[in-house]
Amino acid sequence: MQRWLAWGLKVAVSCLLGLGVLFAQEITSFEIMDNAAMGLTVTPFEKWGMAIGDFDRNGYPDIFCLRWKAPGYSRIFSNQSGKFTDVTGDSPLEALEAKETGTRTTLWVDYDNDGDQDLSISGEKGIYLLRNENNLFTDVSASVGFVGKIPPGFITSWVYTIGGWADYDLDGDLDCVVAQENNKDLYLFRNDNGHFTDVAAQAGLTATVLANSSSLSWTDFDLDGDPDLYAGLYFFRNDHGVFTNVTEALGFAGLSDVSQREMFDYDNDGDLDFFKAVGSATTAGTNEVWENRDGVFINVSADVGLTVSRDRYRSMTIGDFDNDGDKDIFLQLNIDPSLDYLLVNDELESGARAFENVAEFAGISKTGDRKGSAFLDYDMDGFLDIYLPSAEHNHILYHNLADNGANWIGFMLQGVVSNRDAVGSLVTVYTGAKKQICYTVCGNGFVRQDNPYVHFGLGLNTSVDSVVIRWPLGLRQVIANPAVNQYHKIIEPETSEVADPRAVSRMPQTCRLEQNYPNPFNPGTRMVYHLTRSVPVQIEICDAAGRRLITLVNEVRPAGRHELRWDGRDAQGRKRATGVYFYRLTTPDEVQTRKMILMQ
């Protein structure tokens, strides 16, 4: 069966090639796993998303399948070497959800930094925190101050939604933001050694446009080291623990009709871009990609060929399913006879980006009532699988057949000075001229929590030059030449004291490489870089395949600002053709790469 799926996929890709869609490498295909054989037992309740975590820290991702409306109760599936076991009986979920008419969100989080993941849950009547003690769960909500309240006035509904967890104040433990229906204020539960205080007023999160949102998320959209907030149409920057609405300053004033959304580096230029999908087939809005250009976002949907139809999208997930080094998009529909979308992200020879729906060709075949989707590597083979809760099928688990020969690398991060889950880490992988980043979060938006491990596809590259980890409290760790095709468990280096976490998170780097100007250019361009101290520096120009064309600098340079030019010629003095090129700055501590375009 697997052989026929792979053969069919190659035929389908050949058809796409005939239509002018070019892929840098073959994509992978999926098979549907048998739920009973996998241990994913019947879940007789209405589904409302899922959360993926590793609550027992055994190195395999576990699944929380969330019940929406009564009757029934949610299920916890423990993953043991790729097979699942229902362990819900070790939790108070059945009794807890018997009091709740509806459960809304759940997230795995190590709130007490004791090394195992706990459960945070929101419902129509309350919010709950279940502490994990040796894989047995106890409700500690009231004792730790993780409690909401009924808003004032005559209301009949006060539904809670947990937006996510992040260390917003950079003190080493995870805090939680919660929205509530009919409440003009958010909750911001500051975590002080496992006890919570609502500090939304001090943080500027009362009476804002974020109120009542069901899709709050944390991310660091400016990559300055502290987590910011966004929800739907609005973006709030974290300035030393106080939040400011910067939606217009980011270029999002014209943003509209956002249902599902995610921030990720779609073009591998080292910053976070934005993707959003609409929530209705009849809406006037469109599905869009917004590219981050020096901190201002530009709608580039037409440039990347995004032609996804308007529909009722109920979830999405981001990951490099074909391991080619570019993040792809899975878009999940709701009650619809149409197939879900699997948008492969490919960089063309011209340097342009294109998204193409390959769901049908890749083996995505189930329809029906489904809410929630996640990329996860359930068998830890380095190729991302897909999980969806389903009304008709209980579970849909697509196994990635890993049939394209691509390489990969993964990381399991453990904080020591920072929070134990290492939420808020920025991981950068350098392979030749290519640079990929991943910012770790706890909570990915509406009814989902994705893959708990950091994963990068490498394409046909057989080695990684270096990995740079910026831990949540700002410590930088460089790992040279890590082995590929395996997951690495990385523990944060300890320090004796962190007197001011914000000062640590903003420690100057050894170097800073600016974007070249002009760009695109002809015949030459200027490059500027800054050094915080005297260090050996190498600056190289590479082509789109990562081949070095010329070395412009290879010597010790003093601290300060430095400028150089490239005339578009290689080491032999030959003029280079029109295309995408990369310039790479290397010091003993780090590597920085930027993209430029030569127009002849």
Amino acid identity for residue 51 in this structure: A
pLDDT value of residue 375: 97
Same-domain status, 47 and 159: yes
pTM of the prediction?
0.82
Instruction: Give domain status of residue 251, yes or no.
Output: no
pLDDT value of residue 543: 86
Same-domain status, 111 and 43: yes
pLDDT value of residue 335: 65
CATH number at residue 516: 2.60.40.4070
With vertex at residue 313, the alpha carbon angle to CA 310 and CA 315, rounded to the nearest 5 degrees, is: 150
> Are 418 and 167 contacting, i.e. CB atoms less than 8 angstroms apart?
yes
pLDDT value of residue 336: 64
The pLDDT tens digits for 59-117 are 999 999 999 988 899 999 999 999 999 999 999 999 999 999 899 999 999 999 999 99
Neighbouring CB atoms inside 10 A of 510's CB total: 18
Instruction: Give domain status of residue 322, yes or no.
Output: no
The pLDDT tens digits for 57-74 are 999 999 999 999 888 999
CATH number at residue 478: 2.60.40
Amino acid identity for residue 583 in this structure: Y
Instruction: Quote the tokens at residue 452.
Output: 């708990």
Domain limits for position 458:
408-491
21 compared with 515, residue with greater pLDDT? 515
Cα–Cα distance, 179 to 176 (Å, whole number):
10
SS (H, E, C) 375-413: EECCCCCCCCEEEEEECCCEEEEEEECCCCCCEEEEEEE
Same-domain status, 44 and 180: yes
Contacts of 322 (CB under 8 A, 6+ apart): 25, 26, 27, 28, 328, 344, 404, 406, 457
CATH number at residue 146: 2.130.10.10
Rg of the Cα atoms in the chain: 24
120-to-141, 285, 575 alpha-carbon distances in Å = 9, 33, 59
Arithmetic mean of pLDDT, 254-276: 92
586-to-311, 506, 530, 562 alpha-carbon distances in Å = 46, 21, 12, 14
Last residue of a domain, one of 202, 220, 250: 202
Same-domain status, 454 and 593: no
pLDDT value of residue 514: 87
Last residue of a domain, one of 456, 491, 526: 491
The pLDDT tens digits for 439-479 are 999 998 877 899 999 999 999 999 999 999 999 999 989 99
Is the N-terminal amide bond of 518 cis, ω within 30° of 0? yes
Cα–Cα distance, 238 to 240 (Å, whole number):
6
Same-domain status, 569 and 428: no
Same-domain status, 58 and 182: yes
The pLDDT tens digits for 162-217 are 999 999 999 999 999 999 999 999 999 999 999 999 999 999 999 999 998 888 99
pLDDT of residue 294 exceeding 60:
yes
Same-domain status, 55 and 176: yes
Instruction: Give domain status of residue 6, yes or no.
Output: no
Average pLDDT of the residues of the chain:
89
The enclosing H or E element of 119 equals: strand 118-123
Q: Kindly report the backbone phi and psi dihedral angles of residue 510, in degrees, each rounded to the nearest multiple of 5, phi listed first.
A: -60, -40
Same-domain status, 422 and 571: no
Instruction: Give domain status of residue 402, yes or no.
Output: no
SS (H, E, C) 306-334: CCCCCCCEEEEEEECCCCCCCCEEEEEEC
Q: Kindly report the backbone phi and psi dihedral angles of residue 330, in degrees, each rounded to the nearest multiple of 5, phi listed first.
A: -105, 120
Instruction: Give domain status of residue 176, yes or no.
Output: yes
Strand order in 353-357's β-sheet? 313-319, 328-333, 341-347, 353-357
Same-domain status, 454 and 570: no
Instruction: Give domain status of residue 210, yes or no.
Output: no
Last residue of a domain, one of 183, 202, 221: 202
pLDDT of residue 521 exceeding 80:
yes
What confidence category does residue 593 fall into, taking pLDDT thresholds of 50, 70 and 90? confident
The pLDDT tens digits for 3-36 are 344 444 444 444 443 444 445 568 999 999 999 9
The pLDDT tens digits for 549-584 are 999 999 999 988 899 999 999 999 999 999 888 898
Q: Domains in the chain: how many in total?
A: 3
Instruction: Give domain status of residue 252, yes or no.
Output: no
Same-domain status, 526 and 484: no
Same-domain status, 72 and 160: yes
The enclosing H or E element of 144 equals: helix 141-144
> Are 310 and 280 contacting, i.e. CB atoms less than 8 angstroms apart?
yes
Instruction: Give domain status of residue 25, yes or no.
Output: no
Q: Is 374 helix (H, G, I), strand (E, B) or coil?
A: strand
Same-domain status, 71 and 189: yes
